[in-house]
Amino acid sequence: MEDLYPSRKNSQPEILERKDPVIHTDRSKDNQAPISTEQLDSYEKNGFLQIKNFFSEEEVSDMQKAIFELQDSKMDVDSKKVIREPESDDIRSIFHVHKDDAYFKKVANDQRILDIVNHLLGSDVYIHQSRINYKPGFKGKEFDWHSDFETWHVEDGMPRMRAVSVSIALSDNYTFNGPLMLIPGSQNYYVSCVGETPEDNYKDSLKKQKVGVPDEESLRWLAEKGGGISVPTGKAGSITLFESNTMHGSTSNMTPYPRNNLFMVYNSVENRLVEPFSGGNARPEYIAVREKQAMYSG
Ligand code: 6CS
Ligand code: FE
């Protein structure tokens, strides 16, 4: 398959134009969407959309109970799906929760979310990746600037930009406890990064990403083009949907307040993974789902 978004191939970075729509349902059908035209406009323009108070307080406390019970149950467990912080034993992320845990499978199937992502992606969807990023107080380290799509394209073989991440805030996201930072409009440009993908890169990249992190010049260009950096803060229970190629990152958390987010990544069933464009081995199923699974439809 032709590689429309080459990266980690050249010695110089390059900024390529996006070749896919941001919203894959024709805008003449806005009235079929469960969100407003203004919200669709905002997502199309910025590459992300925050919806506050999406979940009820009761749902939030159920989810918080679930993520902390899971965290406790894995505290002393050595599992590939449990990623620990680079400088401590604290749990950084737990992957594949949509499949391994009945409760999170229900969250992944939440019809309110499915109706939105089906419209944005213009098709039925399946879960490409799910994870809980705990970002514990004092110990939670940064997630350097990156486009998820760049990794999913190069290391997982995701052909086109037709996936969306739904970040569910399960603790209050303040300006100071390492919230998600996004560059508005960056979804429209693809930063072709330098550097080869090391064998089994995921064993290190999920702790600290090195390849696929854009150069400072490209990041400066994107931020200036987009008019700065957005930090959607808000109470637990809000969600932030962001397009697969929107440049994002988050700082270390040096406050007592954890920043727990649950991520469900939805991919179009018409955009299933092929061989990694890096030419390397496919990443494990718990990071990048390949098995044919039940489609989620709106
Ligand atoms: O490699 C990945 O798939 C993961 N890495 C980051 C930094 N964001 C997306 C995803 O969790
Ligand atoms: Fe990411």
What is the tens place of the pLDDT at every residue in 158-181?
Answer: 999 999 999 999 999 999 999 999
**Single-letter amino acid code for the residue at 93:** S
CA angle 140, 264, 86 (to 5 degrees): 25
The whole-chain average pLDDT of the chain stands at: 95
Of 168, 179, 167, 182, the closest CA to residue 258 belongs to 179
Residue 297 banded pLDDT, cuts 50, 70, 90: low
Residues contacting residue 170 through CB under 8 Å, at least 6 positions apart: 60, 63, 64, 67, 132, 236, 260, 261, 262
First to last CA, the chain: 30
- CA of 168 from ligand 1 middle (Å) equals 16
Whether the CB-CB separation of 105 and 293 falls below 8 Å is answered with: no
* Residue of 129, 130, 131 to test ligand 1 pocket, by largest number of atoms within 8 Å of CB: 129
Ligand 2 centroid vs 72 CA: distance in angstroms?
24
Which pLDDT score, from 0 to 100, does residue 20 have? 98
Residue 283 near residue 202 (C-beta atoms within 8 A): yes
Contact (CB, 8 A) for 237 and 54: yes
Task: Return the pLDDT at 87.
Answer: 86
Give 51's contacts (C-beta < 8 A, 6+ positions apart): 35, 39, 238, 239, 240, 241
CB-side exposure of 181: number of CA atoms within 13 Å?
18
Domains for the chain: give ranges and CATH numbers.
14-271 (2.60.120.620)
Indicate whether 11 pLDDT > 90.
yes
| Cβ–Cβ < 8 Å for 60, 242 | no
CA distance 298 to 296: 7
The pLDDT of residue 293 is above 90: no
Of 43, 55, 79, residue with least CA distance to 261: 55
CA 35 to chain centre: 20
Mean pLDDT over residues 239-248, rounded? 98
Judge whether 63 and 55 are in contact, CB under 8 Å: yes
DSSP 27: G
pLDDT at 86: 87
Q: Which two tokens stand for residue 294?
A: 């039940």
Instruction: Give the binding-site residues of ligand 1, using a 6 Å CB cut-off.
Output: 129, 131, 143, 146, 148, 151, 205, 209, 287
Give 175-211 pLDDT, tens digit per residue.
Answer: 999 999 999 999 999 999 998 999 999 999 999 998 9
pLDDT band at 292; cut points 50, 70, 90: confident
Query: Rounded to an integer, what distance in angstroms lies between the CA atom of residue 148 and that of residue 128?
Result: 12
pTM score > 0.80 for this model? yes
pLDDT interval class at 288 (50, 70, 90): very high
pLDDT digits (tens, 9 = 90+) for 124-163: 999 999 999 999 999 999 999 999 999 999 999 999 999 9
Q: Report the separation in Å between the CA atom of 133 and the middle of ligand 2, taken as the mean of its atom positions.
A: 10
Q: Which of 80, 150, 151 to mutate to test the pocket of ligand 1 (most atoms within 8 A of CB)?
A: 151
For the segment 78-93, the average pLDDT, to the nearest whole number, is 92
- Centre of ligand 1 from the C-alpha of residue 206, in Å: 6
- Name the pLDDT band for 36 (thresholds 50, 70, 90): very high
The whole-number pLDDT of residue 193 equals: 96
- pLDDT at residue 235 greater than cutoff 80: yes
Band (71; pLDDT cuts 50, 70, 90)? very high
Secondary structure class of 193 (helix, strand, coil): coil
Query: Which atom of ligand 1 is found nearest the CA of 152?
Result: 3
- Does the pLDDT value for residue 295 go beyond 70? no
Beta bridge partners of 194: 10
For residue 39, report the distance from its CA to the centre of ligand 2, in Å: 22
